[in-house]
Structure 1
Amino acid sequence: MNQRLGLLLESFLGHVSHSRGRVLSLLAEHGVTADQGILLRHVHEQPGMPLSTLAERMGLSLPSVSQMAERLVKLGYVTRREDPEDRRRKSLQVTAKASRFLTAFKRVRAEELALGSARLTAPTKQRLVSALEAALAELEGEPS
């Protein structure tokens, strides 16, 4: 069941994603890679998360995440903080620049997905909305 769901989601996203390339253009315009965008999203959602936790969540090595963080610091998207109790432990905070970028990214991504889904009939869209709302409620720990 999980395998089939994964394949269906991948196929669906293949049909509706990047229809006009605006998301990829936005990333390139801001000098942010896809992995760096994912890292920014994690830091935005959970500020102060240690780099080691970020690496674990992203399935990447700590040196890889540290390099991404360094690049994002140089671009002005994050600031790095030392833990006052353990100076070896570092965490990241997003800047206002990153918040603006993430807002634009989410808007452009949603627009592209909506455009890609435009050919669906109204009843299919409604069933998809209901299924996604239920799935997100479960994933976010809300009762359905």
Structure 2
Amino acid sequence: MDKLNDIIFYNIEKAIKTYRMFAMKRIRDNNYKITTDQWLIIKSILENPDITQQEIAKNVFKDNASVTRIIELMVKSNYVTREENASDRRKSNLKVTKEGEAIIENVNDLVIENRKIALKGITQEELNITSSTLKKIIANCN
């Protein structure tokens, strides 16, 4: 039987969780009032203005209920607004506010720095191979 540390999927998950904890600590240490999940959701909305909550959930690998809770917190923080969808009252359109845009802009340099620290000592060739390998795993599982 394989040991956990020898299982590629265990190491992928461990790397992701370690990076998220590292990034969140640095965001808190710099007194930003945003979580990594909130950052991901705001970025999804900014990149896809007509995105639905279901599409956001798929983009950020969260269930719909979690995304609904996160969006509610962001509405309270004035990072996004919900507007009634004119064609379907059951849906709402999400819009990033000026405060939401500002927090993304403010955190951007820290996000770039976090990535740089996490990827220290890794060559572009290694990143390309890793990316290619992960895309093949994704394709195999779809």
Q: Distance in 1 between matches of 2:24 and 2:100?
A: 23
In structure 2, the partner of 1:97 is 99
Structure 2: runs of 5+ lacking an equivalent: 1-6, 137-142
Match among 42, 45, 52 for residue 44 of structure 2? 42
| TM-score normalised according to structure 1 size | 0.63
Structure 1: runs of 5+ lacking an equivalent: 139-144
What is the CA distance between 1:128 and its match in structure 2? 3.2
Contact 2:23 2:111 in 1 (8 A): no
What is the CA distance between 1:86 and its match in structure 2? 1.0
Percentage identity across aligned positions?
21
* Cα 1:52/1:80, change in 2 over 3 Å: same
Contact 1:77 1:98 in 2 (8 A): yes
Residues 21-43 of structure 1 deviation map (CA, whole Å, 9 limit, x = unaligned): 423434xx343233222222221
* Cα 1:115/1:33, change in 2 over 3 Å: closer
3-state DSSP of counterpart to 1:31: coil
In structure 1, the partner of 2:123 is 125
Q: Distance in 2 between matches of 1:107 and 1:18?
A: 15
Q: Distance in 2 between matches of 1:69 and 1:132?
A: 32
* Cα 1:47/1:131, change in 2 over 3 Å: same
Match among 65, 77, 80 for residue 79 of structure 2? 77
Contact 1:83 1:90 in 2 (8 A): yes
Q: Distance in 2 between matches of 1:11 and 1:51?
A: 27
What is the CA distance between 1:53 and its match in structure 2? 2.9
3-state DSSP of counterpart to 1:93: strand
**Which residue identity does 1:98 align to in structure 2?**
G
**Which residue identity does 2:63 align to in structure 1?**
L
Higher relative contact order (CA 8 A, sep 6+): 1
* Cα 1:54/1:25, change in 2 over 3 Å: same
What is the CA distance between 1:9 and its match in structure 2? 4.3
In structure 1, the partner of 2:22 is 18
Q: How large is the RMSD of aligned CA atoms in angstroms?
A: 3.5
* Cα 1:84/1:130, change in 2 over 3 Å: same
| TM-score normalised according to structure 2 size | 0.64
What is the CA distance between 1:105 and its match in structure 2? 2.5
Equivalent pairs, count: 128
